[in-house]
Amino acid sequence: MKSQYIILILVLVVLFLIFGFKGVNNKKSTPELDSNIIKEYNEEDVEVIYLAGGCFWGVEEFFYRIDGVVDTVSGYANGDTENPTYEDVVFRNTNHAETVEVKYDPKLTDLTNILLYYFKIIDPTVLNRQGPDVGTQYRTGIYYTNDSQLGVIENIIKEEQKKYKEEIVVEVKPLENFYVAEEYHQDYL
C-alpha cells in the first residue's frame, strides 16, 4: 500500500513538472516542452548526456517531452559491477546511480538548456536522496561523455549555486559505464 502512494506521488509530481512549467517557462532560458512525441533522428546527429536525479522513471519521462530531446533511456551508471539488475542496484551495493541517457539534437537545443531543466526537477543540495527515494542509487549526477561538456556543466553549477545557501552536491564525473535498465523500467510513466 505504501509503494502505491509513493508511485501516485511520483506520477503527480511528474505531471506537475510536465504540464505546470508550460506557462511559466521563459523561452529565452529554456525551450518549450515538446507536444510532438514522435521523434526521428540519425544517431550521428545527436549529442548525449547522462543525468541521475533520483528515480529514473520521472526523469526519463520529463526529458523525453523537451523539445530537441530525441530519446531517453533508463539505466544504471558509474557503478562497480557489470550488467547490474535493479535488485543488484537496490540490495547489493553496486554503487550504480539510476541514470537517464538523454540524447538531444544540438540544432534544436543545447546542453545548457538540458541542464537548466535538470536543475528544475532535482534538489541539488541533498546527498543520496531525492524526495522519498533514499540511497546512493538515487544520488544526483551529471555524467559527461566528452571534455567539451565539462565547461558547460561547471558554468551551470556555478550559476545554480547562487540560488542556494547549501553547497550543491551533484556528482559531476565522466561516464564510466552505463547499463540499460530492464525493459519494464523503460517508458514506465
**Residues annotated as part of the active site:** 55
Burial of 16 (0-12, 13-18, 19+ CB in 10 A): exposed
- The helix or strand, by DSSP H or E, that contains position 140, with its residue range, turns out to be strand 140-144
| Count of beta carbons in the 10 Å neighbourhood of residue 111 | 21
- The helix or strand, by DSSP H or E, that contains position 69, with its residue range, turns out to be strand 69-77
Query: How far apart are the C-alpha atoms of 75 and 186, rounded to whole Å?
Result: 9
- The H helix count followed by the E strand count for the chain is 5, 8
Residue corresponding to grid cell 500500500: 1
